[in-house]
Amino acid sequence: MASSADPGAPLEAAYRKYWDEKVKAYGKASIEGTDLKKYAVAEAYTQAETEVKALKAKGLVATGKPVLAPTVTSVDTARKTPQGSLTDCTDISRWELVKQSSGQAVTLPKGRLTKYVTKVAAEKWYGHWVIVKVTPEDQAC
């Protein structure tokens, strides 16, 4: 873990918490009982909520979890609302969709990216970092 002198460390920590809560939500196809709202706002929250509702509608949940490798690319704390960004190599190969009723794995398209670049925008609201926008890129890493 980075020292507290690293201005990017709290931003990376918030991103990892966002994923922890997203994994919980995907694991039960519901954001109820998760702290997703604490770490995701605006577009990032809406996107996760939409994805979870789509899983629920299809009777699917996700097992396992993605492997993250985030790098903080900018932190600007001089602004009225501090902003930051990071780039992640998100590896979802160990995060599998299964049918909620049977636990049977869902076959996903061959050739889909399971390790890809993700661009992340964050802001500091009320003293803590929140994830504002998460953009998966169509680019392997």
CA distance 60 to 118: 24
Q: Is the pTM of this model over 0.85?
A: yes
CB contact set of 64 (below 8 Å; sequence gap of 6+): 94, 95, 96
Domain ranges of the chain: 9-140
Segment 15-72, tens digit of pLDDT: 999 999 999 999 999 999 999 999 999 999 999 999 999 999 999 999 999 999 999 9
**Cβ 86 vs Cβ 73: under 8 Å:** yes
Residues paired with 116 in a beta bridge:
90, 140
CATH of domain 9-140: 3.10.450.240
Segment 88-120, tens digit of pLDDT: 999 999 999 999 999 999 988 888 899 999 999
Work out the number of other CB atoms within 10 angstroms of the CB of residue 88.
Answer: 24
CA distance 30 to 52: 6
